[in-house]
Amino acid sequence: MERRVVITGMGAITPIGNNVEENWKSILEKKCGIDKITFVDTTNFKTTMAGEVKNYNPEDYFELKEAKRLDRCSQFAMIAAREAFKDSKINNENTDFDRIGIFVSSGIGGLNTIQAQCNNLFEKGNKRVSPMFIPMGIVNMPAGNISIDLGLKGESMAIVSACASSTHSIGEAYKTIKYGSEDAIIAGGTEASICELGIAGFENMKALSSSTDKNRASIPFDKERSGFVMGEGAAMLVLEEYEHAKKRGAKIYAEVIGFGSTSDAYHITSPDPEGNGGAKAMIRAIEDAKIKPEDVDYINAHGTSTHLNDSTETKAIQKVFGDNSKKVMVSSTKSYTGHLLGAAGAIEAIYSVKALFEGKVPPTLNYKVRDEECDLDVVPNEVRDADIKIAMSNSLGFGGHNATIVFKKI
């Protein structure tokens, strides 16, 4: 028997807000979170812009000793998970903690820790590598830390599929609850890779924007786009079985009704130029949701602001939606936050759910120059009031990973 799955809690810390309320306020006020990089000396880099988390002091959330034992990506994950869990109002009186899972992803994991400990090794010798290096750096540790922090004892995992990671986590959480294995799951992603090593790696791939104008750096679907902008942060959603949520009187934000996932089988970094893999992921999600393409009102696109991603994602949307591809609203909130890599899908899922819940569609910010290759309604620059019923969120990752999740207003 298939069970219904709903969203009952959300948490976030991103370049545009240190909780969900601040994030959504920034969306509505069209506040871009991209600015000059402050905690890396960019003198020798072409890249000078990023989406950094603002006004962040670890000691506001953790004891000093604990903070030193947590990589920045684990800190962000725990902060977002605490908010989502509190928002859900789940406790050990209304829910069995043995049946709450943690599906939390990171595309890269503790890159700041990896960089720092490599520096220690080569500058000071092997004896100076921290004994905390491994548990701070490995990709599964944000999920493990959330489990320990909240006392949750259900299934715990970290799905890694580059920039599709957290959408895969949400999708797999949805399936796990749908088929009865857990009653609730904290699902999402976290990333904190704005360091010399991270910037150098992406810059030397020629993937990053070298714009020095914060309002023209991350410009998805704009003809003048030249690369993505790195962002950081975390976002978590509490997925819960519908009857369980209803029984305990939970606030329900939206229902998860479909998930689709495919591989391009094309190239390690470039998407299939015809958008076939992305299209098939959307089709699978639509079929799983038991809806028609024309039922989708809004798509939160992967929309990275690279030429290849935006043009091929447009082709994928056109393949799936046909004549309706010019009618469905399609925006990229990476114009606000930059690209949160493995955490991108989770924060974009939250923005999609908020769009359903609040009846307001986030725009593609700082859009100026129309690109005929991206012939879509990209909701340019202005928040749009719309009573949307179904929203879709796309994520695409290096290695050809494609993932799509579908939400319904409830």
How far CA 216 is from CA of 14, 212, 223, 302, 341, in Å, comes to: 19, 8, 11, 18, 20
Burial status of residue 379 (CB atoms within 10 A of its CB: 0-12, 13-18, 19 or more): buried
Q: Are the C-beta atoms of 260 and 281 separated by less than 8 Å?
A: yes
Among the listed residues 256, 222, 102, 104, the one whose alpha carbon sits nearest the alpha carbon of residue 166: 104
Tokens describing residue 3: 């069970």
Where b means 16+ CB within 10 Å and e means fewer, 21-32 reads: ebbbebbeeeeb
Beta bridge partners of 258: 406
* 71, 139 Cβ separation under 8 angstroms: no
DSSP assigned state of 4: -
E strands, 321-362, where?
Answer: 329-331, 360-361
Cα distance between residue 140 and residue 261, in whole Å: 21
Is residue 298 helix, strand or coil?
strand
User: Measuring CA to CA, how many Å separate 176 from each of 64, 158, 235, 291, 373?
Assistant: 36, 14, 20, 21, 38
- Catalytic residue, candidates 32, 168, 244, 302: 302
Residue keyed to tokens 């990171």: 106
The three-point CA angle 335-86-334 to 5° equals 5
Distance of CA 378 to the CA centre of its chain: 19
Is 339 designated active site?
A: yes
56 touches 18 (CB < 8 A): yes
| Pairing status of strand 100-105 against strand 184-191 | parallel
Q: DSSP code of 275?
A: -
CA-wise closest residue to 329 among 319, 340, 321: 321
Among 163, 168, 374, 401, the one annotated catalytic: 163
Is 267 one of the annotated active-site residues of the chain? no
113: three-class secondary structure by DSSP: helix
Out of 168, 195, 244, 339, which one is annotated catalytic?
Answer: 339
Q: Could you give the CA distance from residue 372 to residue 133 in angstroms, rounded to a whole number?
A: 48
Q: Which residue numbers are catalytic? A: 163, 302, 339
